[in-house]
Copies of this chain bind each other. A is one copy, B any other.
C-alpha cells in the first residue's frame, strides 16, 4: 500500500466522521475504525486531531479550486463564469455531501478555534469570485462602483447558506440547478450595467 493511501484513507474517514458527529464530538477511535486502521496509525500521518481537520481542509479545498478554475478558464464571459462558480459550489452537496457538511461547519468553527490559522486556501477559493467581478468590470459588464471584495463575500455567503439549507432539510424544496440559477441570476441582474 502506498504511503499516501493510508493518509487518504484516514482523511476520507475523518470527513465521514466529522460530518456525522462534528469535529469535537468525533473521537480519534471513530476515525480509526472508519478508516480501518489502529488509533495509533493516525498519529503516523497527522500530528493531532486538529491537524487532521486542517490538513483535510486544505487538501479538499485545493481540489475544489483546481476543478472550478478548470471550468472557469474555458469560459470567456464573466457572467457565465459566475454561473459556473455557483453551480459548481452547490453541486458539491450532491457529489461530496459529507465534505460539504464538514467544510460548512468547520469553516465557521474555525472562527474561534483556528484564530491563528490564516485560512489561505479558503481565501484563494473566494478570491476566484472577486477576480471574475474585476474582469466583468473591465469589460464594462458589471457596474464600476461595486466593490469586488464585498461581492465575493456576498456571493459566497449566499451560495453557502443555500448549501446549509440543503444539508439541513431532508427534502429540499428546489433543485440545486434551480437554486444556482436563481442566485447567480439575481446577482448578475444586480451587478450589470444599464446597457447590458
Which residues does A use to contact B, with CB under 8 Å?
Answer: 19-22, 24-25, 101, 104-105, 107-109, 111-113, 146-147, 149-151, 153-162, 164-165, 167-168, 173-174, 178-179, 182-183, 185-191
Contacts and interface: CB of A to CB of B under 8 A. Distances in A.
Nearest to A113: B22
A130 to B, nearest CB: 12
A77 B15 CA distance: 46
A173 B113 CA distance: 23
Contacts of A183: 150, 154
Nearest to A126: B161
A188 B185 CA distance: 13
Contact of A161 (B21, B157, B165, B167): B157
Given A146-B182, A174-B147, A190-B189, A161 B168 contact: no
A151 to B, nearest CB: 7
A194 B24 CA distance: 50
Lowest 4 CB-CB distances: which A-B pairs, in order?
A157-B161, A190-B190, A108-B108, A154-B158
A143 B6 CA distance: 52
A190 B179 CA distance: 15
Contacts of A162: 150, 153-154, 157
Nearest to A18: B112
Contacts of A188: 190
